Amino acid sequence: MKVVVPKALSKAGKNYLSEHDFELIEAPDDKQETILKIGKDADGIVLMTDPFDNQTLTKFTNLKIIARHGVGFDNVDEKFAGEHGVYVTITPMANASTVAETTIAEILDLSKNLTKISDEMRQGNFAYKLDHMGFDLSHKKIGVMGYGRIGRQVAEKANALGMDVLIFDPFVKETKIGKLVDRDTLISQSDVITLHLAVTDQTIHGFGKRELEMMKKSASLINLGRGALVDEQALIDALKTKQINGAALDVFDEEPLPLTSEFYKLNNVLLTPHIASNTKECMERMAVDSASEVVRVLSGEKPKWAVNKIK
């Protein structure tokens, strides 16, 4: 059986598939056109974050599984896939700790202006720090929107830093850390808001002008979830006018973020190129977990982490 894998897939994942006697077809890039061209008769695909639309899916003759390398699956229509006999799976156990660590790292960076001050120092501006002081996190309120595996670990780590944790998640009824509050209370009271929600019809661009106007002027927005969660133009406007203190963004509506984006012109936003899970260990875990789902399905077993049902 044939499996299309990304060139960038960790060797651990490729080895796992090879050890189970699958023929690997290595895609030089992650574009759906490339995957279709080299693997139209593939039985399985390990998919990164590039879009994989319904029209492309129907052109595969033997496809049984699309194994997402990660947790989000907004780049593929899982319901449509299920209707066409294709499982869509994710790797929920592989990246939570790493993404939580990166979230805290970006919060720390933003709160102390670390990247910007370092850049200025390299240009000889040692005194830049005097007019660009950071802020303490201890005793500040952090609002965690979305209390799944990642949100929980962010809350735990923020609590360890002495932050007061507010949590919004309509599906969670109790928590050992922090306080469950409604959405508007979290937005209006938090000093730092971090987004860890799934992308749904209800959450797409759900953090926009209204929410930004509700935030404290001294507050910051953190998004390492999905770019689609935030209305980017509304955020750009809020950052330009100093309606909020700042933002740290690792995900965007369009990736790579176009060089024409106004975000690049703003000094109060920390930008990173979708690195939340970008560690050697995490990449190995995601590669092996996605590969193991391919092995299960193509061996006639049910997957562990399917996000759809086969009809």
**Rounded-to-integer distance, Cα 274 and Cα 97, Å:** 16
Closest CA to 225 of 184, 194, 192, 191: 194
Phi, then psi, of 108 in degrees rounded to 5: -65, -45
DSSP-assigned states of every residue in 220-283: EEEE-S-GGGB-HHHHHHHHHTTSSSEEEES--SSSSPPTT-GGGG-TTEEE-SS-TT-SHHHH
Q: What angle do CA 58, 60, 64 make, to 5 degrees?
A: 95
Three-class SS of residue 27?
A: strand
Give yes or no: 226 in active site.
yes
User: Is 209 buried (19+), middle (13-18) or exposed (0-12) by CB count in 10 A?
Assistant: middle
Give yes or no: 156 in active site.
no
Listed in sequence order, the residues at least 6 apart from 119 whose beta carbon sits closer than 8 Å to its beta carbon are none
Give yes or no: 69 in active site.
no
Tokens of 248: 């740290």
Whose tokens are 């044939």? That residue is 2
Three-class SS of residue 164?
A: strand
Annotated active-site residue in 20, 84, 149, 274:
274
Closest CA to 309 of 126, 148, 86, 107: 86
Annotated active-site residue in 226, 285, 293, 296:
226
Which residues in the chain belong to E strands, given as ranges? 2-6, 23-27, 44-47, 65-68, 87-89, 141-145, 164-168, 179-180, 192-195, 220-223, 246-249, 269-271
Annotated active-site residue in 19, 23, 255, 281:
255
| Residues noted as catalytic | 226, 255, 274
